[in-house]
Amino acid sequence: MSESSTSAPLPEPPEPAARPGFWASVREAIAGSGQDFTQGPIGRAVLLLAIPMVLEMSMESLFGIVDVYFVAALGEDAVATVGLTESLLTILFALAIGLSMSTTAIVARRTGEKDPEGAARTAAQAITIGIALSAAIAVVGVAFAPGLLRAMGAEESLVATGTTYTRVMLGGNVTIFLLFLLNAVFRGVGDAAIAMRVLWISNAINIVLDPCLIRGIGPFPEMGLTGAAVATNIGRGIGVFFQFWVLFRARGRIGLARRHFALQPKEMLTLVKVSIGGILQFLVATASWLGLVRILALFGSAALAGYTIAIRIIIVALLPAWGLSNAAATLVGQSLGAKDPARAEKAVWITAFYNMGFLAVVAAAFILVPEAIISIFVRGEIDPEVLPIGVACLRYVSYGYVFYALGMVLVQAFNGAGDTMTPTFINLGCYWLFQIPVAYTLAKPLALGPTGVFVAITIAESLIAIVGLVVFRRGRWKTRRV
């Protein structure tokens, strides 16, 4: 019998599985992906993480916008109270954001190490720290709300009408803390879609309750300004309840149990140490922007108004870019946990490329037609000098958008690796030792006026990207242990 008649035919090799298309990936990102982000195509991993993160950040910005929109009908004292209370909450946001950075970094690292118990312990310890901090802030806020408003420069009439609002916001700050922290946990394990849904739920409730509690619509009591604070806390509180329900039911990539909340001093100390850099990052950046406002105030209210309008537009445009940058933090943390620094670095470059492309398109629009954009917000009895100042701010700041895009991703790459102090030192040098002196010099001694401030912003943000790139290429972040 011949060999050809006895040997079985060789099986044909299987065809490679077709890679999901763009829109299929978008649907998967919104629905929630089960992909292991330490493996597979990095570009697709960035897309699956970035889309829900972009939507999450957009929803977070809605809280303040919705409150101001409904409160505006109550008069300028009510709006001023919201603004002053938000200023008081800056320290809270710094603590929450700093602790969230360290939580994302360490949870992502444990996830990459395939250590779900370690990730759950880190999450539980972060929650414990967050609740303790928020309780201390609540006690101080409720007890000293009138004094805090006076310290911020509020007149007695505003203190009389706004104290209850401030007490409710500061007293209920645990909802802010936990919303930030638990979403940081979800981002760390790669459950970005859950974090996005939490903000959808919270905002939907806030949007419905705000007018009802402020005006007393239907069965709801008319609470005026205080109603806005109550609505915001209820919206955030229900979002937090949903987060805990997901975590304790183990409905995603991470599950919590009572055993994880046994105090772990060493774990807590690590979280606090990494958080310090994140807190300082936020405070350094925020304080530098306050310094710029002080310089612009030298040129009158029109300069401040034009700057305020332009910066609001710029911040809204930058939100998607920050969402993309958050994807880099998760991928870096998980890849380093999986002992794959090459993948971590590649993820940063791909994310930076996407981010730079996006902001280049935005910059083109802002540079070519800034008048059309600013004029939407400059109408009625607003000083006509506001328009050219707003246009100048939007145009000059946009010249550095491609650098901003790179800088954002590099900062989040350091944070994702648990190296939160490197961006802090970069910010301190580029903002306080460079941006503020240059802004003042260009604006006053060199007589460029507000335009000098806008030019300084562009130069400083570009310098952050360049310095960050140099430090990133040295690669010390790859060996950071958390």
Instruction: Please check whether residues 187 and 241 belong to one and the same domain.
Output: yes
Q: How many domains does the chain have?
A: 2
pLDDT of the residue at 290: 79
Q: Is residue 268 part of a domain?
A: no
Instruction: Please check whether residues 51 and 94 belong to one and the same domain.
Output: yes
User: Contact 68/152 with Cβ under 8 angstroms?
Assistant: no
In a 13 Å sphere around the CA of 240, the CA atoms on its Cβ side amount to 19
pLDDT of the residue at 306: 83
What would the pLDDT profile of 227-236 be if each residue is shown by its tens digit? 999 999 999 9
pLDDT of the residue at 4: 46
Q: Is residue 25 part of a domain?
A: no
Token output for 86: 């938000």
CA-based end-to-end distance of the chain = 67
pLDDT of the residue at 2: 46
Instruction: Please check whether residues 257 and 281 belong to one and the same domain.
Output: no
Counting every residue written for the chain, the total comes to: 482
The proportion of the chain whose per-residue pLDDT surpasses 90, expressed as a percent, equals 59
Instruction: Please check whether residues 226 and 295 belong to one and the same domain.
Output: no
Instruction: Please check whether residues 435 and 341 belong to one and the same domain.
Output: yes
Residue 77 vs residues 26, 86, 229, 423: alpha-carbon distances, Å: 44, 14, 15, 38
Instruction: Please check whether residues 244 and 325 belong to one and the same domain.
Output: no
What would the pLDDT profile of 437-477 be if each residue is shown by its tens digit? 999 999 999 999 999 999 999 999 999 999 999 999 999 99
**Residues sharing a CB contact under 8 Å with residue 14, sequence separation 6 or more, in sequence order:** none
| pLDDT of 9 strictly over 70 | no
Domain holding 196, by residue range, is: 40-263
Instruction: Please check whether residues 432 and 314 belong to one and the same domain.
Output: yes
Last-in-domain residue among 263, 286, 313: 263
Instruction: Please check whether residues 214 and 166 belong to one and the same domain.
Output: yes
| Region 186-190 average pLDDT | 94
Last-in-domain residue among 263, 289, 321: 263
pLDDT band at 10 (very low <50, low <70, confident <90, very high): low
**Residues sharing a CB contact under 8 Å with residue 271, sequence separation 6 or more, in sequence order:** 99, 102, 103, 106, 122, 125, 126, 129
Q: Is residue 329 part of a domain?
A: yes
Q: Is residue 327 part of a domain?
A: yes
Number of Cβ atoms within 10 Å of the Cβ of 13: 6
Please return the burial class of 62, using the count of CB atoms within 10 Å of its CB with bins 0-12, 13-18 and 19+.
middle
What would the pLDDT profile of 71-119 be if each residue is shown by its tens digit? 777 876 777 787 778 778 878 888 998 999 999 999 999 999 999 999 9
pLDDT of the residue at 65: 67
pTM of the model: 0.85
Instruction: Please check whether residues 173 and 237 belong to one and the same domain.
Output: yes
pLDDT of the residue at 11: 53
Q: Is residue 461 part of a domain?
A: yes
Site of tokens 């310890």: 125
Residue 351 vs residues 47, 285, 288, 322: alpha-carbon distances, Å: 9, 23, 27, 11
Q: Is residue 333 part of a domain?
A: yes
Instruction: Please check whether residues 409 and 450 belong to one and the same domain.
Output: yes
pLDDT of the residue at 380: 52
Instruction: Please check whether residues 95 and 120 belong to one and the same domain.
Output: yes
Q: Is residue 14 part of a domain?
A: no
**Residues sharing a CB contact under 8 Å with residue 456, sequence separation 6 or more, in sequence order:** 292, 435, 438, 439, 442, 443
Instruction: Please check whether residues 330 and 357 belong to one and the same domain.
Output: yes
Q: Is residue 168 part of a domain?
A: yes
| Region 349-354 average pLDDT | 94
Closest-CA residue to 84 (of 138, 154, 19, 25) = 154
